Amino acid sequence: MKTDTKVLKLVRKTESASETEAASAEAKAASADFKGAAPATQPALSPKAVPHEETKSPVVTKIVSQSKTPQAKAAFQPGRLAPAARDQSEYHGLSREQMLSIYRTMYLSRKIDDKEIQLKGQNKIFFQISGAGHEAVLVAAGMVLKPGYDWFYPYYRDRALCLQLGMTPLEQLLSAVGAEKDPNSHGRQMPSHWGHKKLNIVSQSSPTGTQLLQAVGCAEAGYRVKLIKELKNRVQNFHADEVAYVSLGDGTSSEGECWEALNSACNLKLPVLFLLEDNGYAISVPVEVQTPGGDVSKLLENFPNLHIERCDGTDLLESYAAIQRAVQHCREGKGPALVHAKVIRPYSHSLSDDERLYRPDEERTADSERDPVKRFGGFLIEEGITSQDDLQRIKDGVDREVNEAADQALASPQPTPETAKLYVYSPDVDPCAKEFDTEKGAELSGNAGTMVDLINRCLHTEMARDPRIVVFGEDVADCSRDTHLEKVKGKGGVFKVTANLQRKFGGARVFNSPLAEANIVGRAIGMATRGLKPVVEIQFFDYIWPAMHQIRNELALMRWRSGNEWKAPVVIRVPIGGYLKGGADYHSQSGVSTFTQIPGLRVVYPSNALDANGLLRTAIRCDDPVLFLEHKHLYRQTYNKSQYPPDDFMIPFGKAKIVREGTHMSIITYGALVQRSVVAAKQAEQQGISVEVIDLRSLSPCDWNAIVASVKKTNKVLVAHEDSLSFGYGAEIAARIAGELFEYLDAPVHRVAALDTFVAYAPQLEDVILPQAADVAKAIQELYSY
């Protein structure tokens, strides 16, 4: 669609205010679809205007000719409109009104970028990153997809898509100024981090690529809902042919999570539309450095079930046709689709970047020749669809609208200081509250079971109670191949914690994941935003680190960064700890302080079977993400067994347990050190030393009141844990006791912990590295003698 530069010169500014007002009235009369400040709409494609089935009709695949027919040339005169009866199939069914509306949205997107750049230069906003050069393919995507029906995981270039879906210029500029009324994040995130509850635009963050797995999880939620008959009337906003849109840049395609997302989407034939917006650069790194051969879509050609479209993303009609074909593939249940759109980046990566440092002038000039806004405007004039004067009137109207929106945004109040801590956790469900405390007087029954037994029982009863619960991870199913299920005993997790769940509740609710921890957590986040309740397993704590991006930057932050618009109450079960005799450095890790430092994440660590049952039930029923740590050494110990509690047995978070009463000193501990501390306390009792042992049970939140009461009672404190001594969880407890309870202390706070090294394979080394009962006993003696 080559645009004659002479045509572009015809698009000029009007010269007077009166001329502008008259032109505006004329433009409104000429286009029934043009509604002043309203965002571009798609009346022929919106779910309200067209029966749902129409989206499945065959699409026109002809790409529009770059030159007009002789008849069209004869009919066209500058300033006159093309005949209304003209065959619209040449434009893939788009009417004149729709194309004018499309141009308006493209120009609007560019104008907001320019306004933000101006405001940044005036120090009225604090950051800017543009969507310039991507407008054509993004508006095309917004025309084909359905706001509030489909689901959207855009990245920061997707300004034009959000406008086309219905976000207003004011809403986008409220984000730029950090206003409290910003629907994207209520002033908590940078501009262009899109989110809009009404439009199904899920809150997005800065790390590139994390959105991909969440989009897969979002689509998978719809897939699971279709399979789980109990959910038929239990969930809302699910549609048989919905599509999950997710976009990425060429640089993001280098992230491992991109390939994990494509892997799962193709395996499950999920309706995910991947839009690859390839502008040739990841900040300063060109695509040939990022990707073998410089073409991501070529690398994906053999992915099964993946429909691939390639298009010039600066050509509106070519992009529209490609998106239509891709979305049709998804809606018909054939699997995911990838649209590889070649776009441009006419501005630097952001205002913090200067592309002139690494891009030569001739390359930047060549990009400007493909500017989608100029191309489409020139095309509309050249094709006789509109005149240069009417196009200018549209631009003038947009200019006024953006200026007015900027003024309103700048006048909009900022968030008040007292709101800073709002929505770190759920404001509606408090897992520390009385309704989660059914511990006292609970009647136990049956033979005593191990921690594995009681966790398994909790999962069984909770899954029977709530069909929204899905359980997945590596090896958690009994047998992935259903045809073999009756021929084998079944796996049920490497520690058998999830045994027989698949047999009881089916493969739609209990299933294995790829060996990819980010895949597990990212998909779980996507499912949780749709209302499912994922209870996932990371097979060993030692391998949780590939999922850290998803846990720290996505799971824990989802509610806060969106101002409580979105949430992801996922439970992550994780076997943890050492004392295994052979676990060594990659099956014995205990770094809990890394996670207790994360606001928004609950961290729970039971030491016995009964507590594990009650705390897991609370974790599942609460509305926050929970890291549920299960010590491997404690899984089958006889000393921590228990009879089975009732099906509503719960222990609230932040409630410690006094395991042993004492008067001379207090031991604050958790996990495997609880039993070792009890053993040491019994030894000390024979020497006349009375030791109180407190099991914290939940680490975040922590029962500070219980610690205060014990310190005031005994006046001496020992903190014992399995983590390394330096910079660990115990250091925080010790520091807070010293800072807030100093007047009650008769001695410095002591600590017992692992050596500042790694857990070795040889048993004699492991015994020295990890804290033993003898180490606790020695510390008791030293503290008592102080």
d(CA 443, CA 645): 6
* Three-state SS sequence of 267-295: HCCCCEEEEEEECCEECCEEHHHHCHHHC
Please report the beta strands in 474-595, taking only residues with DSSP state E, as ranges in sequence order: 510-512, 533-537, 571-576
Any residues with CB less than 8 A from the CB of 387 and at least 6 apart, and which?
Answer: 78, 79, 80, 81, 381
d(CA 637, CA 334): 49
Tokens at 364, concatenated: 């930047």
Tokens at 78, concatenated: 């500058």
Which has the closest alpha carbon to 651: 615, 612, 602?
615
d(CA 147, CA 258): 24
Active site residue 460: no
Cβ atoms of residues 606 and 630 within 8 Å: yes
Phi, psi of 570 (to 5 degrees): -90, 145
**Residues of 710-728 as b/e, b for ≥16 C-beta within 10 angstroms?**
bbeebbbbbbbbbbbeeeb
Which has the closest alpha carbon to 703: 618, 591, 605, 628?
605
d(CA 212, CA 260): 9
Which has the closest alpha carbon to 533: 224, 149, 201?
224
Any residues with CB less than 8 A from the CB of 289 and at least 6 apart, and which?
Answer: none
Tokens at 126, concatenated: 């604090």
d(CA 248, CA 204): 12
Cβ atoms of residues 670 and 607 within 8 Å: yes
d(CA 171, CA 163): 10
Cβ atoms of residues 621 and 648 within 8 Å: no
d(CA 507, CA 479): 9
Please give the torsion angle defined by the CA atoms of residues 542, 547, 548 and 553, in that order, rounded to the nearest 10 degrees: -160
Choose, from 587, 631, 664, 750, the residue flagged as catalytic.
587
Tokens at 440, concatenated: 């006292």
d(CA 504, CA 509): 10
d(CA 766, CA 588): 10
* Active site members: 587
